[in-house]
Structure 1
Amino acid sequence: MRRHLAFPCGADTLVGTLDMEAATGPAAILLVSGGREVRAGSWGGQAQIAARLAAAGIPVLRYDRRGIGESEGTDPSFLNTRDDLAAALSALRTTVPTLRRVIAFGNCDAAAALMLHGAELALDGLVLANPWTLETDEAQAAPPEALRRRYLAKLANPREVLRLLTGGVNLAKLARGLKQAASNAPKSSLVEAMAANLARFPGPVTILLASGDRTAQMFEAVWPAADPRIQRHASSGHSFAGEDAQDWLFERLLEAVR
């Protein structure tokens, strides 16, 4: 069953969608959209996985943050979405009063927002996919470690080597990229804030990375590689597109809830 909700966030009204079957368990998922993406997700992916989770007895609330989709107000950007998260969490608990646990799941800058604000909310767990690590909404440059991996992959590809040997590569651009790849990753106040606030979160945390995704690679370049909370999938899809990747994501969410 899918129903639409409207709930307050300060002076504005947010709109959300609750997927829930008649028989549900004691835990739910608050699904947070990333970027300026509406709650259905890219190609309807969030709506699809919400329906699948609901069929497994797990209620899922998705919502549009302020200024996005059907919700009122001005978009505060992912850095300032604490009030939106709190409003959605309150709406979920009010609508499904039998809940004992709520796990929040976010991809990209939604994951970053949960890392920044999750410790301030009554959440019982976090699932963070491909967290965004840049303080702006657009990537201007990749961290050096991510660039090094990219260039190594290109050098292992015979087609890319042939392009280089036959003049198909812009050498000036290549030189700039190699110089950046040889440098050290700059310190990021955002990453430091994400790490500090995540350390304050009292519940379990799972970090999911699509190894071929550029955003995931940028995250790995500035995050401890040995973090035991990290789980990786070989997908290159930022939203874990493809049946195999979607099945893997679904199983990880089930594990987090149960």
Structure 2
Amino acid sequence: MNRRHLHFICEGRTLAATLDSASAAGSTGLLIVSGGNEIRAGAWGGQARMAARLAAEGVPVMRYDRRGVGESEGDNKGFRGSAPDIAAALQAFRAAAPHLRRVVAFGNCDAASALSLFAADLPGIDALVLANPWTIEDEDDAAGHAPEALRRRYWHKLRDPVALLRLLTGKVNMGKLLRGLKASTRKGGPSGLAAEIQAGLARFGGPVAILLAEGDRVAQVFAAHWPSGDVRVQRHDSASHSFSDEDAQDWLFDRLIEATAVRH
């Protein structure tokens, strides 16, 4: 395995990337798209370690900092403005590894959402692995929590004498409470962003794997908005949003190996 750093241009800005080349050059590569303000090394270096591990198994891996993050120039336009970054990274990956026949794109959190929204319009992505896609449109709104979790939360509060006393003495924000109760009684169904993700994936022609850490709140909200019978969804009992614990890392590695296996 050989690791080297490289740079590429996205709309006039210089972006930083890292390429882990496989010693036995595989024909399928993995592009890791980072989410939020996360740098390309990933949480606690998890993406860097995963890249090295995959490269040792013959899978070239490129990861990069999108504009305004880490070592990359420009302004961070958020996941909805990241399509040019992904497109430029794809082009750079294929230029740096011209032997590649397929590229699988992997993203966690809002990077998974970005790939869902834009992959159908980005030539060069052959398959997607989406981990804990972000579907929360207003994190400060109680409606951003899964209804099942809200119901459990309010049931516990109603059994708590201290919480009841705060309610009776006017120390509870009634507007927020009513919004939360309304959200806790709604039936599962696609939110605006979840519906957009569904539409984006419907336009994408390649294989898709959706990976959920069952104990992660972002994954729980996604599951509450997503069709329960979708066979593309795979679950692990981890509570780590980034699959950072050892067992979850091994599970994620196996899923990425499956996704990058050569298909004839």
Structure 1 length-normalised TM? 0.89
Counterpart of 1:222 in structure 2: which amino acid?
H
Structure 1 residue 165: deviation in Å?
Answer: 4.0
Aligned length: 251
Say which SS state the counterpart of residue 13 (structure 1) adopts. Answer: strand
The answer as to whether partners of 1:144 and 1:182 remain within 8 angstroms in 2 is no
Moved more, 18-27 or 188-197: 188-197
Alignment equivalent of 1:125, drawn from 101, 119, 127: 127
Partner of 2:162: 167
The answer as to whether partners of 1:107 and 1:130 remain within 8 angstroms in 2 is yes
Say which SS state the counterpart of residue 106 (structure 1) adopts. Answer: strand
Structure 1 residue 79: deviation in Å?
Answer: 0.4
Structure 1 residue 186: deviation in Å?
Answer: 8.0
Distance 1:81 1:89, change over 3 A: same
Query: RMSD in angstroms over aligned alpha carbons?
Result: 2.3
Structure 1 residue 168: deviation in Å?
Answer: 6.1
1:213 aligns with 2:208: no
The answer as to whether partners of 1:144 and 1:184 remain within 8 angstroms in 2 is no
Counterpart of 1:224 in structure 2: which amino acid?
P
In 1: Cα distance, 2:159 partner to 2:39 partner: 41
In 2: Cα distance, 1:223 partner to 1:143 partner: 15
In 1: Cα distance, 2:190 partner to 2:233 partner: 21
Distance 1:81 1:164, change over 3 A: same
Structure 1, gaps ≥5 residues long: none
Partner of 1:239: 242
Distance 1:36 1:25, change over 3 A: same
Partner of 1:149: 149
User: How many percent of aligned residue pairs carry the same amino acid?
Assistant: 53
Say which SS state the counterpart of residue 253 (structure 1) adopts. Answer: helix
Structure 2 length-normalised TM? 0.87
Structure 2, gaps ≥5 residues long: none
Distance 1:58 1:140, change over 3 A: same
Per-residue CA deviations over 1:51-79 (Å, capped at 9, x if unaligned) read 11111111110000011111111111100
The answer as to whether partners of 1:38 and 1:64 remain within 8 angstroms in 2 is yes
The answer as to whether partners of 1:144 and 1:181 remain within 8 angstroms in 2 is no
